[in-house]
Amino acid sequence: MATAQEIVTILEFDPKDAERVARRPQKPLEIVEYNKEWPAKFADVESIIRGALGNRVVLLQHVGSTSVPGLAAKDIIDIDLEVADPADEDSYVPDLKTAGFQLLFREPKWYNHRFFHLEDPYTNLHVFGPGCPEAARHRMFRDWLREHEDDRQLYAESKREAASLSLAANEGTMEYTYRKEPVVRDILRRMFEAFLNSPAGA
């Protein structure tokens, strides 16, 4: 389990450290209104993953914007999967591939992260090890946005603005992410402060 200090200390992502395995066709950058079908889509993918890996699934969670009711988002299901050892790819990657997932890249220096794609429903699958601080932050951010309407609205506005600017500049998803990062960090700051002042973060 991640400690409170590990959770509030962000390990910065460096794209140069990513080991690219494959590429996928990119969906158009579009922010859509919340779709009540997203939880069902997650449940479908969850069933696929659990069917493929069985008890090798340590934790499996719907995260990202499609996991927050009422939040506008890209129409992409984000899932965090924790396995015993992400570096031991032979223990889970072949079965995920058989189930339809494609390994796109690995990041050994960034939480031992592996990133997979499923085409239908269009899914980002993030694989981490047990108790990963980044996965814990994903769940906390999701829950914070579910519970705080003001930050949920602020985040939705930042996503729409970032998407609009990136589309106008003919940019991709990475640039879109950078454009909304200041708002994300602002929300995280409030979330971390509340966490550290709670019994869970003490």
- Distance in angstroms (rounded) separating the CA atoms of residues 114 and 112: 7
pLDDT tens digit at each of 202 positions of the chain: 899 999 999 998 888 899 999 999 888 999 999 999 999 999 999 999 999 999 999 999 999 999 999 999 999 999 999 999 999 999 999 999 999 999 999 999 999 999 999 999 999 999 999 999 999 999 999 999 999 999 999 999 999 999 999 999 999 999 999 999 999 999 999 999 999 999 988 7
Conformational region of residue 100, where left means phi above 0, alpha means psi within -120 to 50, and beta covers everything else = left
Q: What is the pLDDT of residue 14?
A: 85
> Distance from first CA to last CA of the chain, Å, rounded?
15
Q: Compute the residue count for the chain.
A: 202
Q: What is the pLDDT of residue 25?
A: 87
Task: Give the CB-side neighbour count of residue 133, counting CA atoms within 13 A.
Answer: 14
Q: What angle do CA 76, 79, 83 make, to 5 degrees?
A: 155
Q: What is the DSSP letter of 27?
A: P
Which residues, including other chains, have CB under 8 Å from residue 106's CB and lie 6 or more apart?
A: 18, 19, 21, 89, 113, 114, 115
Selection from 127, 128, 146, 136 nearest residue 65 by Cα: 146
pTM: 0.96
